[in-house]
Amino acid sequence: MEMLNREFKAVVQDMTHVYLGAQMTVKEMMSYEDVPFKVKAIFNKYFGSHEQTEMKVCDLMGSVDSSDFAYQVIKQLKIKFKVGIYTVKRNSEVYKSKTLSPDEFYELYASGEKIFVEEIVFNKLALLAFST
C-alpha cells in the first residue's frame, strides 16, 4: 500500500486543471513549488489549521461537512475527486478509477465503502475567478 500512496503524491497541471495527489500531507503540499500559490492560500485559509499539517489532503477534505463553509468553497472551485473504488466481481476484488463531483464524493465517503482517493482536481478557470 505504501508504494500506491507514493504514486499519488505528485502535482500535475495541464491547460485547464491542476491535479493534486491526494495522498500527500498538507505539509508536503505546502512545500511543493509546483502547487499554485492560490491552491496553497485556499488550503491555508479554508481547510485547516497548523495542527492539521500532518494530515493527508484526502483525509482533510474528506472530513468536510456539507454544512461547513469549506464545502461551499469546494463547490465554488468546481473541485472533482478522482477515487479508486473496490468492487467484488466473480469472487475477486476489482479496482476502478472514477472522477466524482463533490456531492457524489461526500456521499460515497460517508457510506463507508472501500475507496482510495487518488487525486483532487482543481479547475484553473474557477481558481482564477475565486478570490480569497
Overall domain count for the chain: 1
- Give per-residue pLDDT as tens, 67-110: 899 999 999 999 999 999 988 888 888 889 999 999 999 999 88
Query: What are 66's three cell numbers?
Result: 456539507
Check which CATH number belongs to the domain holding 123 and give it. Answer: 3.30.465.10
Confidence check: pLDDT of 4 > 60: no
What residues make up the domain containing 55?
Answer: 2-129
In this predicted structure, what is the pLDDT of residue 50? Answer: 64
Edge-first strand listing for the sheet containing 92-100: 11-13, 17-21, 115-123, 80-89, 92-100
Q: Using alpha carbons, select from 108, 55, 61, 119 the residue that is nearest to residue 85.
A: 108
